[in-house]
Structure 1
């Protein structure tokens, strides 16, 4: 099961990355992921709070798999133990218009034995809405910072 969203941001990848990798400021702009604690480096363990629309939210502890500045940030998390309900979250930045704009792709692949029980149509819709809300907020933040 995969959910992928994207948005075009009128700022270069370096600016979008600066916002995305600054975990300490997420509470100021990110409605879907208002808290991330940890260091953006491969192998690091994070503490991430997500709040999908209509949900009380949850906190989990994924491990960063890939940190490629201005290109990709990716982590994998599990519910309790691997194989029950797993998610691999990804953010990809693609330069467009000679590097002046960024195509931001935000998605997650879900798997595990509990996937059909935990992740029905309603949860999928809330997750997609959360991704899109974060994308729009990232766009606003990166574009306002780029023009400031």
Structure 2
């Protein structure tokens, strides 16, 4: 079974600034209501572990999610003039090690000349117990994360 959880927003800030915020994991606690802490080597690199401390909405509590960075494509501008960047990490918790729930989260940025930065995130969940990954709670968290990233970047862009 496979379930994808997604969120997206348009951010009125340069892509490079949004990217910088995404990689500044020590600052997450100051702006991110979903990933309230992220422990990761600085600067992050492909293969690095990243431990996410997730706060569910309301009184649903918190959880710790061990991940590993699998994609770190820094901003680059293609021949079409569009700048793109991607950060992805793979879930490494016990359910993943047992083959019960696998997940990869992608966070992608795209900016055409003169346009806002498009932020899109998707978690691709799979495995026989994928429903245990609480896709509804994750979707809510991704929406809160996207809104907060937009607010943070637009505030810093001034």
- Please give the TM-score of this superposition, normalised by the length of structure 1: 0.89
Tell me the matched-pair count.
142
Question: 2:126 is matched with which residue?
Answer: 111
Describe the SS at the equivalent of 1:62. strand
Unaligned runs of 5+ in 2: 76-84
Correspondent of 2:9 among 1, 7, 10: 7
Asked if the contact 1:52–1:130 (Cα under 8 Å) also holds between the matched residues in 2, the reply is yes
Correspondent of 1:91 among 82, 107, 117: 107
Deviates more, 1:136-145 or 1:99-108: 99-108
Correspondent of 1:141 among 141, 152, 155: 152
Question: 1:38 is matched with which residue?
Answer: 40
- Please give the TM-score of this superposition, normalised by the length of structure 2: 0.84
Correspondent of 1:128 among 120, 139, 157: 139
Asked if the contact 1:13–1:99 (Cα under 8 Å) also holds between the matched residues in 2, the reply is no
Deviation at 1:78, TM superposition (A): 3.2
* Whole-angstrom CA distance in 2 between matches of 1:99 and 1:47: 35
Q: Give CA deviations for 1:65-96 in whole Å, capped at 9, x if unaligned.
A: 01112301000013311511111011000013
Correspondent of 1:73 among 87, 90, 104: 87
Asked if the contact 2:99–2:127 (Cα under 8 Å) also holds between the matched residues in 1, the reply is yes
Deviates more, 1:99-108 or 1:66-75: 99-108
Which structure shows the bigger proportion of residues in strand conformation?
2
Note the aligned Cα RMSD (angstroms). 1.4
Q: Give CA deviations for 1:24-43 in whole Å, capped at 9, x if unaligned.
A: 00000000001111132101
Deviates more, 1:137-146 or 1:80-89: 80-89
* Whole-angstrom CA distance in 2 between matches of 1:15 and 1:59: 27
Unaligned runs of 5+ in 1: none
